[in-house]
Amino acid sequence: MSRKKKQTKSMEELLQEALVPKEEQPYDVPENWVWVRLLNGVVSCLDKFRKPVNARERELRKGDIPYYGATGQVGWIDDYLTNEELVLVGEDGAPFLDPIKPKAYRIEGKAWVNNHAHILKSSFGSVGNRFLTYYLNQFNYNGFVTGTTRLKLTQAKLKQIPFPLPPLPEQKRIVNRVESLLGKIDEAKQLIKEAQESFEQRRAAILARAFCGELTRTWREQNPDIEPADRLLERIREEKAQSETLKRGRKKSGDLSPIDPPYELPEGWTWVRLGEIAESTVYGTSTKTNDEANGIPVIRMGNIQYGEIDLTNLRYLPSDHPDIEKYQLEENDLLFNRTNSYELVGKTGIVRSQHAGKMTFASYLVRVRLYCKDLLAQYICYYINSVDGRNHLLSTVTQQVGQANINATKLLGLPVPLPPENELIHLNRLLQQVFKIEEESKSALTSFDFTILTQSILARAFRGELGTNDSSEENALELLKQTLAEQHGLAYEQTPKHTLLAAEQGELYKIT
């Protein structure tokens, strides 16, 4: 028995399937745009060209062809199934309900796509593909995806997605405008990145000037009669002499070698080894920690950030653990990171009043407790984290199983430029004021959310609100009719004006 020949649909029937009724249109668009169903003429779905290949087989078929999944490239393979510009949108595994993260992306050239992404192609070439990608990345998928833990966008639901169709020249203008604006956002991001890098460079330059006396030169000229640093050092030595027997882990100053001055200091300053002004150094607890937040926080090397204690991602010890008393922290103790990567080893943070007595620290950190710590701690913290301080410490590094290590003995050998007490107080105050302004400026830059701006641009683009629309241009219904006629082998006829109005209102199917 012969198969019944499929009946060709009329243009009116095709338009009825393609156009979105007024009550289903998400929002108003310009009068010469029309709302259409995504896969009814303006976009083709090429899912027949996708095929999953498991990781084991791909390992045996390694090549130079990109292998794509729901949100991007996931590997390589030795053959291709497509070789053109296409748009991929996740079928499952994409962040559909996240208003910020992308759900669609474009690919070009030879490619292999697995079954976790739909393959789409605009009827309007590269401009259409770009227009489509931007639209799918700002579309609200609520009501179009199913599932709980792993959301899924079926081809049936994909077909029903409402799509705002402008005239083709307007599509080009929108794409150009969007890409121009997004390009400016990328430029702004780069400028902010450069500004953040300049903050670090400026901070390093300020510290360099501080520790050679340049930053306080004017202050010294205005205060010529201050006590020299040697007097401060004498008081520290007196305090050491009167203290109890040296505790374990503290190196005697007599064991410290003489200093070959790295550079010349201003009059009244002096070079000292850190060990000459350190009361004690203690390694932290090696007890295994847990994530039970009712315990006592244990500061680890990841919690030392930019000279401060960062309280994110904490681990804990039980509140009755004996190591808590043994490794207690006092205000103005320093925590020195003795083991880390080469780039991060040696970073140091200062214990503030809000941390004192409430936390302990892990074994990859060394607690450095100074004499006159209320005076010296902040200054020494600045110096250890400065370029000069770090360069000296890095010159003493030993490598152990891919990790860099600086032990307490080497730390205590660090040469430190010591200013007179009054100058040190002024210098600390000056640095704190400068860095506070720097941090506020840095925070203002990093707090700007470019993702919200991007979504705002895209939202306005698909409402025709970017100032690019030309209301005198031919209605997009004509573009839709021409496209449908070419796809279905129908004759194309210009649409009467009253039909255009009905199409704009989504009521073409009601016309008699």
Question: Which residues, 6+ apart, have CB-to-CB distance to 267 below 8 Å?
Answer: 228
The string of pLDDT tens digits covering residues 334-386 is 999 999 999 999 999 999 999 999 999 999 999 999 999 999 999 999 999 99
CATH code of the domain containing 362: 3.90.220.20
Amino acid, res. 55: A
Q: How far apart are CA 104 and CA 72, in angstroms?
A: 9
pLDDT for 148 equals 81
- 209 inside domain: no
Mean pLDDT of the chain: 90
Q: Which residue has the higher pLDDT, 310 or 192?
A: 310
In a shared domain, residues 47 and 115: yes
| Residue 60 resides in a domain | yes
Show Cβ contacts of residue 47 under 8 Å, excluding neighbours closer than 6 positions. Answer: 118, 119, 155
* pLDDT band per the 50, 70, 90 thresholds, residue 250: very low
Residue 24 lies in a domain: yes
pLDDT of residue 19: 96
Strands (E), 267-344: 270-273, 278-283, 296-299, 304-305, 308-309, 315-317, 334-337, 339-340
Is 363 within a domain? yes
* Pair 45, 157 in one domain: yes
How many folded domains does the chain comprise?
2
What's the pLDDT tens digit per position in 296-317? Answer: 999 999 999 999 999 999 999 9
Yes or no: say if 510 and 16 are a contact pair by the CB < 8 Å rule. Answer: no
Cα gap 143→139, rounded to integer Å: 11
Q: For residue range 16-43, list pLDDT tens digits in order.
A: 999 999 999 999 999 999 999 999 889 9
Strand arrangement, sheet containing 104-107: 43-45, 117-122, 86-90, 104-107
Domain membership of residue 153 as a residue range: 11-181+452-488
pLDDT band, residue 3 (cuts 50/70/90)? low
Q: Dihedral, CA atoms, 33, 36, 40, 45, nearest 10 degrees?
A: 90
d(CA 188, CA 352): 36
Query: Nearest Cα to 303, choosing from 342, 336, 325, 280?
Result: 336
Whether 162 is in a domain gets the answer yes
- My answer on whether 390 and 474 are in the same domain is no
Same domain for 278 and 149: no
The answer, as to whether pTM is greater than 0.75, is no
**Identity at 229, one-letter amino acid code:** A
Residue 168's pLDDT band (cuts 50, 70, 90): very high
Q: pLDDT tens digit string along 64-123? A: 999 999 999 999 999 999 999 999 999 999 999 998 899 999 999 999 999 999 999 999
Q: What is the 3-state secondary structure (H, E, C) of 166-219?
A: CCHHHHHHHHHHHHHHHHHHHHHHHHHHHHHHHHHHHHHHHHHHHHCCCCCHHH
Mean pLDDT of 194-212: 87
CA distances (Å), 162 to each of 211, 313, 434, in order? Answer: 65, 43, 54
- Biggest alpha carbon distance in the chain? 115
Please indicate whether residue 511 or residue 310 has the higher confidence score (pLDDT): 310
In a domain, 431, yes or no: no
Indicate whether 239 and 319 sit together in one domain: yes
In a domain, 512, yes or no: no
pLDDT of 240 reads: 86
Q: Do 286 and 235 share a structural domain?
A: yes
For helices 168-211 and 450-461, the axis angle rounded to 10 degrees is 170
Count Cα atoms within 13 angstroms, Cβ side, for 152.
8
Question: Are residues 457 and 415 part of one domain?
Answer: no
pLDDT at 495: 58
Per-residue model confidence as pLDDT tens digits over 407-462: 999 999 999 999 999 999 999 999 999 988 888 887 777 777 788 889 899 999 99
Average pLDDT score over residue span 309-330: 93
* Dihedral sign of CA atoms 180, 186, 187, 192 in order: positive
The confidence score (pLDDT) of residue 498 equals 45
E strands in 318-432: 334-337, 339-340, 348-350, 360-361, 365-370, 398-400, 403-405, 415-418
Q: Which of 403, 419, 435 is the last residue of a domain?
A: 419
Single out the residue of 47, 31, 38, 101 nearest to residue 497, CA to CA: 31
Within 10 A of 493 (CB to CB), how many other CB atoms are there?
9
d(CA 36, CA 17): 9
206 in a structural domain: no
- Contacts of residue 106, Cβ cutoff 8 Å, sequence gap at least 6: 85, 86, 87, 88, 129, 130, 133
From 372, 404, 419, the end of a domain falls on 419
Q: In this structure, are 484 and 394 located in the same domain? A: no
**Is 39 found in the same domain as 132?**
yes
Same domain membership, residue 476 and residue 374: no
Q: Which two tokens stand for residue 462?
A: 């698909």
Judgement on whether residues 165 and 275 belong to the same structural domain of the protein: no
315 in the same domain as 174: no
